[in-house]
Amino acid sequence: MSRRRELVMSISLNALEHLGINLYSNIPAVLSEIVANAWDADAHRVTITIDKAAESITIEDDGSGMNRNGVIDRFLTVGFKRRDEMGEKTPEGRDPMGRKGIGKLSIFSVAQIAEVYTSLDGERTAFKMDRDIIRKAISGKTKQLYKPEELTEWPKALTKGTRIVLSGLSRTLSGMTIEGLKRRVSRRFSIIGQKFEFIVKVNGEEIGPDDRGYHNAIEYLWTYGNQTDFKKSCKHLARPADERLPAIKAELKKAGISLSGWIGTVSSPSQLKDEEGDNLNRLAVFMRGKMAQEDILDDFGQKEIYADYVVGELHCEELDVDDQGDIATSSRQALRQDDPRFEALRKIVLSELRHIASKWSDFRRSDGAKVAMAVPAVSEWLQNLKGDTKKKAERWIGRLNTIRSGDESDKKELLKASILAFESYRRKEELDRLEQIQDESLDQILDIFRNIDDLELSYYGQIVKLRVNVIKTLQEKLKQNEKELALRDYIFNHLWLLDPGWERVKGSEHAETKVNNFLKSNSSSLTPKEKKARIDIGYRTASGRHVIVELKRASIAVPLDDLTKQIRKYRDGAKKILEKTTYKNWPIEIICLVGKPPPEWDDAGGTGPKGVQDSLKTVDARIVFYDELLTNAQQAYADYLEQHIKVDKLWGVFEAIDDFAPPPKS
């Protein structure tokens, strides 16, 4: 009887660190290596069990398993050349995925302990490996051997194949979901499912091709080879898939490689962020049914907008041919870019991406116009246009579908802006026609100017609507103690909050600078008490008047005498400066924005509110309360809009765009 061989593992610490502990950074990648080993063992069923309470993962398959010699020669031998030793095909005729025998070390990147139970022809072998003990055994200067701990107990339910139990996990399982794990494992293989007689389950739930999650988002699809099943799963294609192999057959033959798979684009880049936060905006490369490189899209440096919408899976079997060198990098997660095979693939894929970019732009422009016209009011607006003008408008509207935008609300705003812009373009064409109009054709001239008036009305209507939204947002989000700080800078540049009729005068910046410098010097001369009461002071020109706005702290009430004294001082100083400008005859108006009125405001038998306001009028000033500011502005604009919508011809179109919700995709 031959002597029973001892279980021994020989490996350098450097190899363990680089090929094991640092090989992968996430649990799905490690599990994929174990699933690939099960495929190579001709397994038909693989079960993955996540036990969050025990912080463990169990992977079991019904493959061929190993006897004791197999464990020593294959599992415990790092760098075992599987294809050289066991042939180019598995006993059942599968193309093996393993090549260098280092994938098994990846378990130590997520687990401290790995228990292995495996049997072949009735011979059972069980042992436990501890990452920390391995490190200790091989950390010395002299080479040492690591001997796994042999286990005597055998799982009753395991009658065939291999079971691996990972524990002491360095990656937490708390945030991991079964659906998320299924998605991530599914995306790493193209041979999982009934079709390939290779079933993989996670906590009893079977993984299928649809778990990849791509199919529900794809809008346009380009295929390579027979992709019938995948095309059927893409329920939301806006156009039929385009089979590209006939067009590139000559290029592939010249390069000596084959290509299968698909490249798709989604309707919105946000669809390429999954529930786990993974970025799916990538082109994955597969060899022998397993992902070889997660993404090559970045390699092409595509800056065009279409690239943000791309996702795909490409298979090239010539990248992994037994009689040629290994194309994978030492990390086993990428391909060597200087390999001629990869360079040939890259050249063809780049050509395909350029073709797709051109087609994508055409499709999006055309389909974008159709989507916009699904809004009845927009469709009616377009129908009222004629000839080349209508064609230009449709191209304008369709072009929005090729612009980067965050969400549907952004697209609606862009659509409204485009209609306004195109209406402006139409008015310019009408002005150009003035030279051809006869002098006596007064009605035609007046009609053109009426159209320009209508356009100005529409522009201002949208501005007012935006202003109302700003006011509502401020009302909702600003607390009392935040108002003075949040409004300080904003109010000086947006005087319409104080009075809807005030618009900033352009060209008066020089005068504003001089007066503001004076007001700042005035502030520096205030007493400590006066400085405490003031937040800021500023000056603007607006609608034929000089406006000085002083923000007082909401919590402080300034006596009337002190307030009028301050106001008179900087009003008179501002007048001296303005006497030297072209705006010297404009009236000065001073706004004191306060939270509390002067103490005299509540003097029922004396000054009172009217007396305070009358006193301030003598120095061209008035009080506005923080709480009234937003309410008054909102009411003023609401009154304007009530009348505006009766005369603005484009208002109904814009409201229809805001209210339109595309029908849900079935």
DSSP calls for 317-386? GGGS-TTS---B-TTSSSB-TTSHHHHHHHHHHHHHHHHHHHHHHHHHHHHHHHHHHTSHHHHHHHHTS-
Whole-angstrom distance, CA of residue 579 vs CA of residue 585:
8
Q: Return the biggest CA–CA distance within the chain.
A: 122
C-beta neighbour count of 323 within 10 angstroms = 6
pLDDT for the residue numbered 544: 79
pLDDT for the residue numbered 342: 82
Smallest CA-to-CA distance from 558 within 537, 534, 539, 538 is with 534
Q: Are strands 111-120 and 123-130 parallel, antiparallel or unpaired?
A: antiparallel
Q: Which residue's entry shows tokens 């436990």?
A: 128
pLDDT for the residue numbered 330: 43
Whole-angstrom distance, CA of residue 462 vs CA of residue 470:
12
Whole-angstrom distance, CA of residue 263 vs CA of residue 218:
9
pLDDT for the residue numbered 412: 74
User: Which residues on neighbouring strands pair with residue 56, listed in sequence order?
Assistant: 51
H or E stretch at 621: strand 621-625
Hey, what are 80's tokens?
A: 């075992």
pTM: 0.64
H or E stretch at 464: helix 442-477
Hey, what are 32's tokens?
A: 């994929």
Q: Which residue's entry shows tokens 């997520």?
A: 110
DSSP state of 662: P
pLDDT for the residue numbered 456: 66
**Residue 600 in 3-state DSSP?**
helix
**Residue 494 in 3-state DSSP?**
coil
Whole-angstrom distance, CA of residue 20 vs CA of residue 110:
9
Whole-angstrom distance, CA of residue 573 vs CA of residue 514:
11
Q: Which residue's entry shows tokens 């504003």?
A: 512
Whole-angstrom distance, CA of residue 166 vs CA of residue 611:
83
DSSP state of 198: B
pLDDT for the residue numbered 642: 78
Smallest CA-to-CA distance from 285 within 224, 235, 217 is with 224
Amino acid at 124: R
Task: Mark the ranges of the chain whose per-residue pLDDT is less than 70.
Answer: 1-2, 9-25, 79-87, 98-104, 138-144, 320-336, 338, 400, 403-411, 421-422, 424-457, 459-460, 472-512, 514, 522-523, 526, 530-536, 543, 660-666
pLDDT for the residue numbered 326: 53
Hey, what are 441's tokens?
A: 């054709």
pLDDT for the residue numbered 505: 44
Long-range contacts, 303-308 (Cβ 8 Å, 24+): 304/357, 305/402, 305/403, 305/404, 306/265, 306/356, 306/357, 306/360, 306/361, 306/402, 307/281, 307/353, 307/357, 308/269, 308/281, 308/404
Ordered domains of the chain (ranges, CATH): 13-207 (3.30.565.10), 213-336 (no CATH), 374-477+630-666 (no CATH), 481-619 (no CATH)
